[in-house]
Amino acid sequence: MTAEQMMSYFLWPNRTSCRLAHDFGGHVKRKPAGLDGQKAVCLIPAQVAPPAGDCLVYSFGINNEWSFDDQMERYGCQVYAFDPSMKADDHDRSPAVHFFKLGLNSRDSTSKKGWHFRSLASIYRMLKKRHGEHVIDYLKMDIEFDEWAVIPQIIESGMLDKVRQLAVEIHLSTEDSLTRMRDRVRVIRSIEERGMIRFDSKLNPWFAGHFKLLGLSGPRGYEIAWYNSKFLNAT
């Protein structure tokens, strides 16, 4: 694939795979004007949609922007929100939105800044007393480049089978070579090879730059959403 083809692949929305996808959350920005931070949620077919009133959301990367989490609470979900960078301790934002000063990574660790990280499987075990073996109906990740290590680990651990819908903001570096870009494509393809069906992709117009090793300019961020095909035939 050429660099242009890879950019097109990241942006491919495949919206016909979900005829009823709604954006939850987001806030208006200027220059350019638009909505930022919204997450696409597939609401049809019934087996794929998070069951309203009985759904579980894991939301990684808050940065004090709660619009998605608050809307998912109104939809009827219990929301577990995580961000190690915020100046806030563990607390309940509301009866159904629970915050943890903790980040998502490929392994349990502590950064030089003193931020604590855990793998998805480790966090799920930690919270099992709260939500049992409940499917993660919506897993949101905006974790600033750590997705490239986290996604393969989630697949390897088997945790992807516990996820009904997945939304990831992927980040590209202006220092990426053609080889690195192809590695990034392989990571995204690995999600789809495991039965996750893409139903939305949006570029981030506020996060763009010149890829000097590729000789092109374009978005450095894409919001991509999938649902898990294993739930299509669930009863």
Where residue 31 sits, what CATH number does that domain have?
A: 3.40.50.150
Tens digits of residue pLDDT in 12-43? 999 999 999 999 999 999 888 888 889 999 99
What gap in Å lies between CA 63 and CA 233, rounded to an integer? Answer: 37
What is the distance between the alpha carbons of residues 232 and 100, in angstroms, rounded to a whole number? Answer: 32
Closest to 193 measured CA to CA, from 181, 185, 202 = 185
pTM of the model: 0.96
Structural domain count, the chain:
1
The encoded tokens of residue 13 equal 């929305």
Q: What is the pLDDT of residues 135-149, one digit of tens each?
A: 999 999 999 999 999
- pLDDT (tens digit, 9 = 90+) per residue, 66-94? 999 999 999 999 999 999 999 999 999 99
User: Rounded to whole angstroms, what are the CA distances from 78 to 55, 63, 73, 181, 185?
Assistant: 6, 19, 6, 36, 32
* Residue in this structure with the two tokens 């897993």, named with its chain if needed: 139
**Residue numbers of the domain that contains 68:** 3-231
Phi, psi of 2 (to 5 degrees): -80, 170
Tokens found for residue 59: 């939301």
The larger pLDDT score, comparing residue 125 to residue 235, is at 125
